[in-house]
Amino acid sequence: MPLTASTYGKGRVRVMRLARDGDHHTPRELTLTVLMKGGFDAAWTQADNRACIATDTVKNIVNVVAARNVALDAEAFVQAVAALFLDTYPQVAEISIEGRETRWLRHAIDGTPHGHTFTLDGNGTGYVGLVANRAGAVLRSGLRGYTFMKTTQSGWSNFFDDGYRTLADTDDRIAATSMDATWTWRDAPIDYATANAAVLETLIRVFGTTYSASVQDSMYRMGEAVLAAIPEIAEIAFAMPNKHYIPINLRPFGLDNPGTVFLPTDEPHGQIEATVGRAA
């Protein structure tokens, strides 16, 4: 029977490119599907893989092109990936690349765009919860899935060391999370919308402008700042899963990685939760 159509490649190739200009960083995150057509039919019909390019190689090529082209826009980047395939492999007749861009928006702190603090485009959902009975009521507001990132000024070091630990200490990493935050009202503010906006502004300002020794460290100080700024809030609870950006090892390809090319991954992730309240 004839093989009437075939294609193959790699899906969900995730890569973050981080262009650094001093303290001014620009993240470019893509998830790509890269598929090839060409002289590969024998792999299907004759169990002959000699012409096949491993799908792992496809992923490696994306990473190498990322390292060589940190600042390209998405459109120019996929063209560079395609050109490398067509220039390198005569058996590739056609390359198809589709990319989904994770768009990070530069966050303004005190009215000034910040060099390395970003929020996700189309971000998060608001939350409200009420428990009421004849004796009274507890009202909560919050955010669900609010995603933000800073590309420096974060570390994770001096943690417990034993035979199961594999992570090395670092004092400069990308810190990103998709935060659920819930604050409990003890009094009604003059305007809930204004107060809720002040909570978010405070959280991102503390996160973005201070060094983070851990998510736990930032979380606690973010909570302290909210309680100091908004007296109507009794306590604030957080759940902040890590969104990991892992530096990609480019040494097998003769390339350095000076903190510019990362593998984005959120499975599995660290899950950090806490509640910060007022003294009794």
Q: pLDDT of 124-152, one tens digit each?
A: 999 999 999 899 999 999 999 999 999 99
Handedness of CA 246, 59, 34, 64 (dihedral sign): positive
Rounded to whole angstroms, the Cα distance separating 69 from 85 reads 15
Task: Using a pLDDT cut of 70, give the percent of the chain over it.
Answer: 100
* Dihedral over alpha carbons 164, 168, 172, 177 (to 10 degrees): -20
Q: Are 233 and 185 in contact (CB under 8 A)?
A: yes
Q: Are 236 and 182 in contact (CB under 8 A)?
A: yes
Whole-structure pTM value = 0.91
173 is in an annotated binding site: yes
Six-digit token pair at 263?
Answer: 């593998």
Catalytic, out of 25, 107, 116, 244: 244
pLDDT of residue 133: 87
215 is in an annotated binding site: yes
pLDDT tens per residue, range 170-218: 999 999 999 999 999 999 999 999 999 999 999 999 999 999 999 999 9
Catalytic, out of 31, 33, 55, 102: 55
Residue 33 is a catalytic residue: no
pLDDT tens per residue, range 17-33: 999 999 999 999 999 99
Residue 55 is a catalytic residue: yes
3-state secondary structure of 102: strand
Mean pLDDT along residues 269-275: 97
Sheet holding 261-265, edge to edge: 92-102, 24-38, 8-21, 261-265, 244-247
Would the pLDDT of 280 be above 80?
no
Mean pLDDT along residues 52-56: 97
Grade residue 73 by pLDDT with cuts at 50, 70 and 90: very high
> What domains can you pick out in the chain, each with its CATH number?
8-134 (3.10.270.10), 145-277 (3.10.270.10)
Grade residue 266 by pLDDT with cuts at 50, 70 and 90: confident
Average pLDDT, the chain: 96
Please report, for residues 11, 39, 46, 52, 242, the alpha-carbon distance to residue 49 in angstroms, rounded to integers and kept in the order given.
20, 11, 9, 5, 40
